[in-house]
Structure 1
Amino acid sequence: MRKQPSTRNLPASAGSMNAQSAVAGLRARDMLSTLRSLALQGLRQPVHSARHALALGGQLGRVLLGDTPHKVNPRDSRFADPTWQLNPFYRRGLQAYLAWQHQLDNWIEESDMSADDRTRARFVVSILGDALSPTNTLLNPLALKELFNSGGSSVLKGLGHLFDDLLHNDGLPSQVNKQAFEVGRSLAATPGAVVFRNELLELIQYKPMSEKQFARPLLIVPPQINKYYIFDLSPDKSFVQYALKNGLQVFVVSWRNPDARHREWGLSSYVQAVEEAIDVCRAITASKDVNLLGACAGGLTIAALQGHLQAKRQLRKVASATYLVSLLDSQLDSPAMLFADEKTLEAAKRRSYQQGVLDGRDMARVFAWMRPNDLIWNYWINNYLLGKQPPAFDILYWNNDSTRLPAALHGDLIDFFQHNPLIRAGGLEICGTPVDLRKVTVDSFNVAGINDHITPWDAVYRSSLLIGGDKRFILSNSGHIQSILNPPGNPKANYLESGKLSGDPRAWYHDAQKHDGSWWPQWLNWIQEHAGEQRDTRVALGNPHYPAMEAAPGTYVHVR
């Protein structure tokens, strides 16, 4: 079913931080420096500060008298409990909190600070305001109800969870019950085998699930910062099984989790490893070329690989490319990046090189602060104030099963975000060859998420325009991960698409048509057109030169 978008307003940015922020890092001292600057600003503008203090006092007086001058954002689930509206004490507390936030925002906006300083200040104040929310205390009505219902045991359980997280989770609330899943059994359980291994990756080939299969294989390249099985969670969410059941030959890269010995692995190292995996896929399937699929940083990797192959006149090895939430144009606007000057970025490179790697947990902390109410304070309330176990959720389990980045790749990604090299011919050099994406004439299928806070959709759209060849762009009504995990059957799923890709994301958005359902079937039709002829299914995995070794999910996925 086709519809026009329900609104003509361009969707706002989904968050104040993104992949660039996570790669560059965010230091506590930079945040504290902004808070000190705010305090000094208050002293430099005493009349301005006094006027807003008096205004806040007036609003608090109205609140004490029972007035409710501020509306709660209906999308803010923190105050969904009716107690916040019906109980006079809680209603006044909520209104006082909202009045303080409102007046502080006005104080920043009307100050004589520079535009960048105001943006930094709003960013820090928003994080501080979320942390000081009255929902994060034991006076939260949900916590009080649980306290009485449990006879006090919720507090004891919460303290136990807090102590455990201080010891084993870097002091952040656990997002998932890690005992609820096991990789290779409840997750990443699709039958297959490792058919090739080098220092950087294992190549997994999956057993077919159809009577006929297409001749040209699909090679999936996941992001280096996460493990591959986002494509093979539970059977109802498994992208791998969806492709297998529809006749595709599927291979997946499983990256090795690097340590300090591998600090020299850069983007060129990963490109070389994927090129080797392509040759193995071609040899096993007797196909002259493959279809590539890359997600997030995996998309950057396959784009750089195709640029390298084009420079070597070997692009014929690739028949098509699918990019999921992938950035090739790295121009992003983020308040957090105002904290990162050249000296800060060089310090981040130096720090990771000294350690040999950038730990995935460090990136996970930054990602969590992108949406603190959802990814920190929500679990603070659940785990500590209510004393409950974190949920058993497969996506969150995968998200917490992060890996490390070798120092050289971390440096390459910082340079990528700092210099945006792919927008110009020869701006990026891979394996000694200059990359020009406009000469990459491979057909492409591009997917972005309208609520993606990691790789914003408009930047993903601009990225799709950098590539030559015929291309399709689809905008899913989801976030970063949900845009990938979008199986048919979700009644809330929909996406936007337009047959014409204009140079302006805003113009494309206003011309796009809304379609109900998942984008997976659209991609399936497209990839099958690029998958060659159908033939009888070949059941055996590997071949005499590349025999099947360990059963999937292999060994690299288990490395902590």
Structure 2
Amino acid sequence: MARNRIETATDLAQSAARFYVKMLSQPMTALSGIMALNQEIARSLAGASELEADKGDKRFKDPVWASNPGYRVLMQTYLAWQRGIDNWVDALDVPARDKLRVKLVANLFTDALAPTNTLGGNPAAMKATLEQGGNNLIAGLQNFVEDMAGNNGLPSMVDKTKFRVGENIGTTAGKVVHTEPHLELIQYQPATPEVYKTPIFIVPPQINKFYIWDLAPGRSIVEFLLSQGHQVFIVSWRNPTAEQADWDMESYVEALDRASEVACEISGSDRLNLVGACSGGITAALTIALWGARGIKRAESFSVLVAILDVAGNKDTSMGLFANLETLELARLFSRSKGVMGGSDLERAFAWLRPNDLIWAYWVNNYLLGKDPQAFDILYWNADTTNLPAALHGDMMDLLEFGGLTGGNGPTIGGHKLELGQITCDTLVLGGESDHITPWDGTYLTTNGLGGTWQYVLSQSGHIQSLINPPGNPKARYYTNSANPGTPQEFLAGAEEHQGTWWLHWAEWLAGHGGEKVAAPKTLGSKAHQPGVDAPGTYVLMAA
């Protein structure tokens, strides 16, 4: 994927320099903040403060924080200090992206120093210590030693001993029908007497293993699609080592192109309904754009889920923050030094995006309360990490740096400059309302660059929960807006709320792109592509 290096004026060092210059030149801003903080602390000590934790802040849910005067003062003092730092940064006259960078670092600092992360500052931990005579702390110390030695220095989020891929997770019946260095292609056994002729072709992220699409009965997207009468193919990416350091984005796109030809040959259809999520959505989009550039009409539809393809429009969002040249260069050099970007490194990076939920909550559970982490399939999948080849990692970072697939800065693959406008099939774009990795308003911007008709669906959940959203959840809801407005704000203002999972809406949309119904194949594969090992295949079992 060819690129030409350009200079950027928004690197981290320059942001820090601008911030410190403004901080020193605006001392009254800091003084005003300190005075406001002292006043709020005085109100708290006098019992007159109205400061409360945010509705979604789980750290202060224990009723003791409200009923005990000492704990209430401690909470309000901490919140006043935390919000005072945010307000101080907001008040400085610096560019918005500089503020985002400073806030990121400041929040890591204030989150780490929350009283709830300490024994004395956590009512639940103090209660457990008194009731158990300190046995919780002994168990916590054991958990701490084990995590430092075997979990990359992070608190464990899941009991990994309760799951076995292919035994109680990733169990839908199917066969590997195509294998090459980059991937295995799995075809699943149809679940209905008749199936839509146009199959579904799923492209998972390269940074995770594919079985998030096939967790467990009742929670499997693959199972759901099969029940709706679809033929389903899915890619299982190989977990690369240093030997595959030179695998770049172009090689992954070409591998997808070959695998899609196999799916077409087996199904007897010249069209596919492509589905891609997160980085898999980026790779699928590049593949469809390449087909458009080559004049190949293989995509009947495209479902792009929780993926940001327009980075140029996201420069002032939390996602745009990570398109920082210096940070990306350091990460790229690190991956090149080992040949791969380690899965554990990626896991750590994502965890620090939401430290309260993904680090400190488990710090309290594992070490202060002395409890074992829970057995939850999504958390097991999240911990079952994969590596990224250095070349692919570099290309993904370039996509962030150069603006994604819009603004005339799309990558060149196979000699073709690729853009979102080359995707002319019908497209459904999904975002998650509380997604912290690909914020939904960032995913919405994808719609502005597409070359065909589109619709946007907003799920109420986060990055992964938006995907794993089976029928039956009474809290599930999603939003649509048939007017297809140009901005996420306009979408939300005129959106229609629907109760239930977006899966059912998606199934209706996919049925409109499934083509005619034909008899379900009695056997998997074809003469040219004989079925091999059972799903979930062999690549998914490769350790990081």
What is the TM-score of this pair, normalised by structure 2? 0.91
Q: Is the 8 A contact 2:12 2:326 kept in 1?
A: no
- How far residue 247 of structure 1 moved from its aligned partner, in angstroms, is 1.2
Partner in structure 1 of residue 176 of structure 2: 194
Partner in structure 1 of residue 542 of structure 2: 559
Q: Is the 8 A contact 1:207 1:541 kept in 2?
A: yes
Partner in structure 2 of residue 234 of structure 1: 216
User: C-alpha distance in 2, partners of 1:42/1:243?
Assistant: 55
Local SS of the residue matching 1:237 = coil
Question: C-alpha offsets along residues 42-76 of structure 1, whole Å, 9 cap, x if unaligned?
Answer: 87766665565455444434433444342232322
Local SS of the residue matching 1:351 = helix
Identify the match of residue 72 of structure 2 among 70, 91, 94.
Answer: 91
Question: C-alpha offsets along residues 182-223 of structure 1, whole Å, 9 cap, x if unaligned?
Answer: 111111011111111000000111111112112222111101
- How far residue 38 of structure 1 moved from its aligned partner, in angstroms, is 8.4
Further displaced range: 483-492 or 42-51: 42-51
Further displaced range: 170-179 or 148-157: 148-157
Partner in structure 2 of residue 210 of structure 1: 192
User: C-alpha distance in 1, partners of 2:495/2:36?
Assistant: 45
Partner in structure 1 of residue 291 of structure 2: 309
Partner in structure 2 of residue 389 of structure 1: 372
Further displaced range: 216-225 or 145-154: 145-154
Q: Does 1:461 align with 2:444?
A: yes
Question: C-alpha offsets along residues 23-55 of structure 1, whole Å, 9 cap, x if unaligned?
Answer: xxxxxxx99999999899887766665565455
Question: C-alpha offsets along residues 273-310 of structure 1, whole Å, 9 cap, x if unaligned?
Answer: 11111111122122222221111111111111112112
Question: C-alpha offsets along residues 78-137 of structure 1, whole Å, 9 cap, x if unaligned?
Answer: 111111111122122222222322433444444566655544333322221111111111
Q: Is the 8 A contact 1:307 1:434 kept in 2?
A: no
User: C-alpha distance in 2, partners of 1:279/1:458?
Assistant: 34
Partner in structure 1 of residue 240 of structure 2: 258
Local SS of the residue matching 2:235 = strand
Local SS of the residue matching 1:546 = coil
Call closer, same or farther: CA 1:39–1:537 in 2, change over 3 Å: closer
- How far residue 495 of structure 1 moved from its aligned partner, in angstroms, is 1.1
Counterpart AA for 1:271: V
Question: C-alpha offsets along residues 400-430 of structure 1, whole Å, 9 cap, x if unaligned?
Answer: 1121111111111111111125214573211
Q: Is the 8 A contact 2:97 2:315 kept in 1?
A: no
Structure 2, unmatched stretches of 5+, are 1-10
* Structure number with higher relative contact order (C-alpha < 8 Å, ≥ 6 residues apart): 1
Counterpart AA for 2:341: L
Q: Is the 8 A contact 1:120 1:336 kept in 2?
A: no
Q: Is the 8 A contact 2:319 2:438 kept in 1?
A: no
Q: Does 1:128 align with 2:109?
A: yes
Identify the match of residue 282 of structure 1 among 258, 264, 280.
Answer: 264
Fraction of identical pairs, as percent: 44
Q: Does 1:222 align with 2:204?
A: yes
- How far residue 441 of structure 1 moved from its aligned partner, in angstroms, is 2.0
Q: Is the 8 A contact 2:319 2:439 kept in 1?
A: no
- How far residue 168 of structure 1 moved from its aligned partner, in angstroms, is 0.9
Partner in structure 2 of residue 60 of structure 1: 41
Local SS of the residue matching 2:185 = strand
Identify the match of residue 451 of structure 1 among 427, 434, 437.
Answer: 434
Further displaced range: 192-201 or 470-479: 470-479
User: C-alpha distance in 2, partners of 1:259/1:269?
Assistant: 16
User: C-alpha distance in 1, partners of 2:323/2:310?
Assistant: 19
Local SS of the residue matching 2:507 = helix
Q: What does 1:433-448 correspond to in 2, within 5 Å?
A: 433-448=416-431
Counterpart AA for 1:404: N
User: C-alpha distance in 2, partners of 1:380/1:33?
Assistant: 34
Identify the match of residue 497 of structure 2 among 502, 508, 514.
Answer: 514
Counterpart AA for 1:415: D
Further displaced range: 49-58 or 415-424: 49-58
Identify the match of residue 348 of structure 2 among 360, 365, 387.
Answer: 365
Structure 1, unmatched stretches of 5+, are 1-29
- How far residue 459 of structure 1 moved from its aligned partner, in angstroms, is 2.1
Counterpart AA for 1:559: M
Identify the match of residue 422 of structure 1 among 397, 401, 405.
Answer: 405
Q: Is the 8 A contact 2:140 2:366 kept in 1?
A: yes
Counterpart AA for 2:468: L
User: C-alpha distance in 1, partners of 2:22/2:513?
Assistant: 60
User: C-alpha distance in 2, partners of 1:142/1:411?
Assistant: 45
Call closer, same or farther: CA 1:289–1:339 in 2, change over 3 Å: closer
Counterpart AA for 1:352: S
Q: Is the 8 A contact 2:402 2:409 kept in 1?
A: no
User: C-alpha distance in 1, partners of 2:38/2:456?
Assistant: 52
Q: What does 1:319-398 correspond to in 2, within 5 Å?
A: 319-330=300-311, 331-334=314-317, 341-398=324-381
Question: C-alpha offsets along residues 298-356 of structure 1, whole Å, 9 cap, x if unaligned?
Answer: 111111111211222222x2222211112221234346865865344333322222221
Q: Does 1:168 align with 2:147?
A: no
Q: How many residues are aligned here?
A: 530
Call closer, same or farther: CA 1:521–1:543 in 2, change over 3 Å: same
Q: What does 1:90-109 correspond to in 2, within 5 Å?
A: 90-109=71-90
Q: Does 1:294 align with 2:276?
A: yes
Local SS of the residue matching 1:515 = strand
Further displaced range: 347-356 or 216-225: 347-356
Counterpart AA for 2:248: G
User: C-alpha distance in 2, partners of 1:450/1:335?
Assistant: 14
Q: Is the 8 A contact 2:97 2:316 kept in 1?
A: no
Counterpart AA for 1:427: G
Partner in structure 1 of residue 8 of structure 2: none
Local SS of the residue matching 1:447 = strand
Counterpart AA for 2:202: I
User: RMSD across aligned C-alpha pairs, in angstroms?
Assistant: 2.6
Q: Is the 8 A contact 1:35 1:124 kept in 2?
A: no
Local SS of the residue matching 2:260 = helix
User: C-alpha distance in 1, partners of 2:17/2:454?
Assistant: 49
Q: Does 1:495 align with 2:489?
A: no
